[in-house]
Structure 1
Amino acid sequence: MSKHMTPAKARGIIAVRAETGDVAKILANLQKDWQSFKDTQAEKDKEVSAKFDDVVTTEKFARIDASVGELQSAVDQANAQLAAIAMQGGGAGQVVDAEYSQAFLANFRKGDINAALNKGADDEGGYLAPVEWDRTITDKLVEVSPMRQIASVQRISKAGFTKLFNLRGTGSGWVGEEAARGETATPTFGTMTITPGEIYANPGATQGMLDDAEVDLEAWIAGEVETEFAKQEGAAFVAGDGTNKPAGFLSFATGGANAAANPLGAIEVLDAASTTAVTEDELLDLIYAVPSAYTSESRFTMNRTSMGKIRKLRDADGRQLWQPSSVAGQPSTLLAYPLTEMADMPDMAAGAMGIAFGNFRRGYLIVDRAGVRVLRDPFTAKPKVLFYTTKRVGGAVTDPTGIKVLKQAAA
């Protein structure tokens, strides 16, 4: 990419490259722009030392910074698609129930209810989506939801999921060879129940659109549902209060709405000295606050704005703390740990918890109530047909020991 290319033009190029799957070229351009970023930052340092501010260099630095961010986002998007394929075992397989799938799509078009479809009916007129359609929705959500890529996901068939915790407490003691051995204390246990909340989308299409044989109904509705589900899930997994929705991991931090919900305690909060910035030492403190048993799969999470600030940090020897992706399938890193962009994390502002670090695979559990349900409604919004689609999703922190958050100083 030309260093004179504007961010708007860069986005267009990136979109084309992402569509063609040319990740290798994106990575090459990312490495090239990253070197330009470091060189330009060195130029700015010399200007600062000389108490001189060249607006040309400043504009160049901002332009390259934006380009690096756009290219890294393109790599992250490609990595998300790879993650979705891996989690689903390589993509959709053989159709499990062709007759039911065909009947389900026929109901989408004309509302025809036949014997094959009735097995999915309930008293409210909703129909359980076929396995293939449910898999399509899941694939889409994995692609756009960072938490689904880094946390654990459990499918359940009941109203809730109860997690059992060993609170330890087993007693022991030293004794002589022939000394009496009395009974020692036994461990205690705690529980926490994750109850799924219901998330919905209600896309609509005209009957004429549905009659058109060229329309891929499965892909179209999956796309519409993905947009709404991803928006709601993303916010809930980060900061949801647990009322009719997942409990976000930030709500389990000390002082949060769910700080007392987990029998193992709350997520530890470390304090930053600044209201809007962090230092290398504070990031290192965050890393070393997590027990070593968790760090092999630990990562940083923050939003795009915070990543822009972190990208400019350097250590005492002038080396950047942040490093871009160099191989497809691998994220960017911060202090050698993976970094996941999470749009719903707060900005680095006074009193905000804008950066988290830890093993989210062990620390956070997403619970999916099996099955997506669809209700075809041709009456409410004529001439459109609405497809009221629901899915039950829950989430909570299952091991607060493995996650830490950094809180900015109060104003």
Structure 2
Amino acid sequence: MDIDIDRVPVASPETKAGPEIKSGPETGLTLDDFMRSFETYKQVNDSRLGQIERRGSVDPLTEERLARIDAALIEQQRRVDTLALKGARPALGREGADDPGRREHKAAFDAYVRKGDAAGLLAIERKALSVGSAPDGGYLVPPEVEREIGRRLVDVSPIRAIAGNRTVSASVYKKPFMTSGPTVGWIGETDARPQTAAPALAELSFPTMELYAMPAATATLLDDAMVDIDQWLASEVDQAFAEQEGVAFVSGDGTNKPKGFLSYTTVDNGSWTWGKIGTVATGAAGAFPSTSPADVLIDFGYALRVGYRRNAVFVMNRKTESAVRKFKDTTGQYLWSPGLTAGAPATLLGYPVVVDDAMPEIGANALAIAFGDFRRGYLVVDRAGVRVLRDPYSAKPYVLFYTTKRVGGGVQDFDAIKLLKFSAS
């Protein structure tokens, strides 16, 4: 029997706006709202599936109701994620506060940002025999500010948070990779040891490219001694950096930016070779198949070798997540489950779901879902040092701070990531 969908309550973002974004017990209350909404979603979706089985079609009112609940779930998930992020974000630490050199650098940087006085920074860099730092190239921020920016990027950049990471001092990071190992096997204690074949090595190269943000400040803010300039700068650039690099890690073409994992040559997973990324087709052009769509996700999960599945995650955008949220297995259990605590990711087939809106939407030949061990599969390379160039002239009366860091990225293990292709074959 169908449930009365118009009498099922749902905590919508319009009627339950929730608290202001801050940490505390409010996070749990918002999570409770989300869990109640998901239970309602399952009831309405069960009704929709029942209508399809009996009538071969769905009541438009049921579709409309399900869409409203789905929109509420997406909004509530954003709110829960934001609350958890704010609660987990560390305050700018005082690491190295007792180090005279650190204190000197911090004081000199503060004078440069507030008043444009670069004498202190110039003196520090002369003592360190630094090269490449000049008034037209900017000055290095204190180490604690650089670390804070890095921590914030991990918090807000989906792929950076799950990928491998290296910090280098050169402009290019080169990594040898064994594409085929030496011949090995079992042998008796007294048997002869034949000579084995040498391993085959390939070299992967990850150049770092310049990433920039340009926050602006008023003279009043810079004159206010109560404002923590380090904290202000870190908070202003983290979102801009995360948005720019987030798109590049997914779909960047490698020209003046990292190369995204969707930009590599793809091949059907049955014909996979090193240097390409394997794909699994859904069997329907631009969509999941109309019958047994859950089987596609299960087959896709098993396309990844068992050694990589231990730490694997699904990556997709929110619209794709809303589509797979409807799927059930043969026992009637939903494949998608919400996180049980604030900040915990939802799971699909028991694996975490990372939501990245840089991923493409479901469409013809779209590579809309990725699955793999991104820690082993994708590498983010950061060149040490964040530079700031103060510009009080270009946008008077505001002061601009041209902030740059160098970032690279690319696939380092082509067998660790698989893509779901929305095509017939």
* Offset, 1:341: 0.2
| 1:104 match | 109
**1:238 counterpart = 2:239:** no
Partner of 2:4: none
Task: Tell me which of 19, 27, 35 is aligned to 1:23.
Answer: 27
CA–CA distance in structure 1, aligned partners of residues 137 and 258 of structure 2: 27
Aligned sequence identity (%): 41
Aligned to 1:259: none
Name 1:94's counterpart in structure 2. Answer: 95
C-alpha displacement of 1:9: 4.4
Match of residue 315 from structure 2: 301
Within the alignment, does 1:72 sit opposite 2:82 as a pair? no
In the other structure, the counterpart of 1:266 is: 276
* Structure 1 residue 169, shift from structure 2 partner: 4.5
Contact 2:213 2:402 in 1 (8 A): yes
What whole-Å deviation, never above 9, does each CA across 1:58-114 have from its counterpart, x for those lacking one? Answer: 4432222222222223333355557765xxxx9734245122112211211111223
TM-score (norm 2): 0.84
Work out whether residues 72 and 332 of structure 1, in 8 Å CA contact, stay in contact via their aligned partners in 2.
Answer: no
Does 2:396 match 1:372? no
User: Structure 2: which 5+ residue stretches go unaligned?
Assistant: 1-7
TM-score norm. by structure 1 comes to 0.87
Identify the residue that residue 37 of structure 2 maps to in structure 1: 33
Cross-structure match for 2:177: 165
Matches within 5 A, 1:220-369: 220-254=232-266, 264-278=274-288, 279-369=293-383
Partner of 2:199: 187
> Conserved in 2, the CA contact under 8 Å of 1:153 and 1:366?
yes
Change (3 A) 1:201 1:52: closer
- For residues 221 and 187 of structure 2, the distance between their equivalents in structure 1, rounded to whole angstroms, comes to 81
* Structure 2 counterpart SS, 1:287: helix
How far 1:247 moved relative to its partner? 0.9
Greater Cα offset, 109-118 or 134-143 = 109-118
Q: 1:18 & 1:274 partners in 2: Cα distance? A: 44
Q: How does 1:191-210 map to 2 (within 5 A)?
A: 191-210=203-222
Is the CA contact 1:165–1:190 (under 8 Å) kept in the aligned structure 2? yes
- Give a deviation string over 1:112-157, Cα, whole Å, max 9, x none: 2233553247233511001221122222212210112111111111
How far apart, CA to CA, are the structure 2 residues paired with 1:255 and 1:181?
A: 39
Counterparts of 2:39 and 2:32, CA distance in 1? 11
Q: CA deviation at 1:180?
A: 6.8
Distance 2:392 2:281 in 1: 54
Q: Report how many aligned residue pairs link the two structures.
A: 398
Structure 1 residues without counterparts, runs of 5 or longer: 257-262
CA RMSD, aligned part only?
A: 2.9
- Residue 47 to residue 186, structure 1, CA distance change in 2 (3 Å): closer
